[in-house]
Amino acid sequence: MPYYTSFANIYPMINSFYNEEKKEIIWRWGPIGIVVALFLIMEVTYLLFFNNVTIVVSHILYFPIILISFFFPKKGVITSTLISAAYVFIIYAAQYPGIEGIVSATMQFYVYVSISITVSVISDKIKSDKMKFSGIFENSEGGIALIDRHTGKITEKNHKFTEIISSWNIAADTENITEIVDDQKYTEILAEIDISGSLENYEIESAKDDRNYGLINVSLLSEDDIILNLNDITESINRKKEIEKLNSDLYIANKKSNLYLDILTHDINNANTAALGYAEFLTETASEEDKPFFEKMLAGIRHSTGIIENVSRIRMVHDENRNFHPVNLNPVIRNAAERHTSAEIKADTEKITVNADEMLADVLDILIENSIKYGGDGIKICINTEKKDGTAIISISDNGPGIEDRIKKTALTRFQKGSDSRRGRGLGLATADMIMRSFGGSMEVTDRIPGDYKKGLKVILKLKEA
């Protein structure tokens, strides 16, 4: 077997012997070990050639002074000073009165103390910055992790990061980011970092459970490390999904309701129209004895038709495609009066233009029909208009039975009944009020003669001038 083949087989075995933790220890402390070994070789060589123990000892003292000053910044200077003083005392005792050795030891003392102070200041600054960083790192509201970009290993993580992944049923001691973010996502993250150096507001799913979601921000910390900020957005995503489902259900329900409304406003109304024609014919040809029954049937069909018309109007109020435009009140009021010939209608109007649409005619029809329905034969209706401070005011009054004060407060509420419990009044007035509010206007129900509801009803409409 060739030599290189044997080595190729042995190398993976040697490499596998050292796990990641051992490799990290070797790379961290290996250089220091090499420096110490080289230093000792140099000192032994110096001792063999020059046989000067004093110089060797003075060199070796650098190590304890530097290490003590680095690891114990506050006490290190005092300790290093004491060690340096002890060294000077020993040299003084050994070489006195030799001036050269004493001067050299004194200068060495100042060097030791200077190095100790310098190392202590640097170490104190490093530790202070580390404490600040640790405070920010641990107290951050988001989960923070430092990751080896090449291996995906999590080298450091704060408490919040651990808390988030634990809530995702991922072990707190997880060592690799790919156990949290799937491989494909992590590859996409690295690709984006290679291009722009950072990645913001990137949404991920948990690699273990796709019902957990996170929002991450990633930055390149060094050539080998990235810093990842993780926030748990599971609750907000689930809420968003619930809202989307509700919107979908609402859309389906809306389509169904529109179907039912189409059936109501078209098919049933067409059936009512046919039934109304036959009922009118039967009423006219019926005997005096049967006529009251046919009149009640006719009233019922008309009532049903009126309800369908109001439902159709309510549907139009909510139409998003409505287009408001300037409307001249004179022709609208005049046409409304001409459509209702069964009542005496007097219109005293002036030229006023308001911002509305064709549904303003529906409001007038509802109010006039309401007066005719409850006023009976001999009802008189008066329509007046005026403008005041940019507002158009339309008053529709009648000499009918009016509405009691206790009912006025709820007269514009849907399905409220009048004092005589007759149906339909509330729905019609409520529909008219709904249309007025869609114009940005208002509707008020009051007495024709203030304080005496029995003298008739007065409805006041207010709209902005166009």
Tens-place pLDDT, residues 290-314: 888 888 888 888 888 878 888 888 8
- pLDDT for res 444: 93
Strand order in the sheet with 380-388: 344-348, 380-388, 391-398, 452-464, 442-449
Residue 335 and residue 279 in one domain = no
pLDDT at residue 228 is higher than 90: yes
Across 8-35, average pLDDT? 61
Which residue would you say has higher pLDDT here, 417 or 112? 112
Calculate ∠ Cα 200-202-205, nearest 5°.
155
Q: Comparing 156-165, 251-260, 407-416, which segment has the lowest mean pLDDT?
A: 407-416
Which among 372, 312, 300 has a CA at the least distance from the CA of 336? Answer: 372
Across 117-140, average pLDDT? 84
Q: What is the mean pLDDT of the chain?
A: 83
Pairing of β 391-398 and β 452-464: antiparallel
Contact present, 422 and 300 (Cβ < 8 Å) = no
Which among 364, 368, 370, 455 has a CA at the least distance from the CA of 404? Answer: 455
Across 3-28, average pLDDT? 55
Count of positions (residues) in the chain: 466
Pairing of β 143-148 and β 154-157: antiparallel
Residue 263 and residue 312 in one domain = yes
pLDDT at residue 343 is higher than 70: yes
Q: Name the domain boundary from 321, 344, 375.
A: 321
Rounded to a whole number of angstroms, the CA Rg of the chain reads: 47
Residue 450 and residue 341 in one domain = yes
Q: How far apart are CA 162 and CA 83, in angstroms?
A: 45
Q: Comparing 81-90, 113-122, 239-248, 443-452, which segment has the lowest mean pLDDT?
A: 81-90
Across 255-278, average pLDDT? 80
Residue-range definition of the domain harbouring residue 43: 3-138
Q: How far apart are CA 460 and CA 123, in angstroms?
A: 85
Contact present, 360 and 392 (Cβ < 8 Å) = no
Tell me, rounded to whole angstroms, the distance of Cα 59 from its chain centroid. Answer: 65
Contact present, 61 and 112 (Cβ < 8 Å) = yes
pLDDT at residue 272 is higher than 90: no
Q: Considering the chain, what percentage of its residues have pLDDT values greater than 90?
A: 33
Q: How many domains is the chain partitioned into structurally?
A: 4
Tell me, rounded to whole angstroms, the distance of Cα 225 from its chain centroid. Answer: 32
- pLDDT for res 1: 44
Q: Is the dihedral of CA 184, 185, 190, 194 positive or negative?
A: positive
Contact present, 124 and 74 (Cβ < 8 Å) = yes
pLDDT at residue 262 is higher than 90: no
Residue 48 and residue 157 in one domain = no
Residue 107 and residue 207 in one domain = no
Across 352-379, average pLDDT? 90
- How many alpha carbons fall within 13 Å on the CB side of residue 62? 12
Tens-place pLDDT, residues 428-439: 888 899 999 999
Residue 47 and residue 134 in one domain = yes
Helix axes 20-50, 53-60, angle to 10 degrees: 160
Residue 54 and residue 161 in one domain = no
Tens-place pLDDT, residues 375-417: 888 899 999 999 999 999 999 999 999 988 888 877 787 644 4
Across 270-281, average pLDDT? 84
Tens-place pLDDT, residues 230-254: 999 999 998 998 999 999 998 898 8
Residue 398 and residue 276 in one domain = no
What is the pTM assigned to this prediction?
A: 0.49
Give the pLDDT band (50/70/90) at residue 89.
Answer: confident
Q: How far is CA 248 from CA 27, 139, 235, 239, 254, in A?
A: 58, 41, 20, 14, 10
DSSP of 63-122: HHHHHHHHHSHHHHHHHHHHHHHHHHHHHHHHHTT-HHHHHHHHHHHHHHHHHHHHHHHH
The CATH number of the domain where 339 resides is what?
Answer: 3.30.565.10
Residue 256 and residue 326 in one domain = no
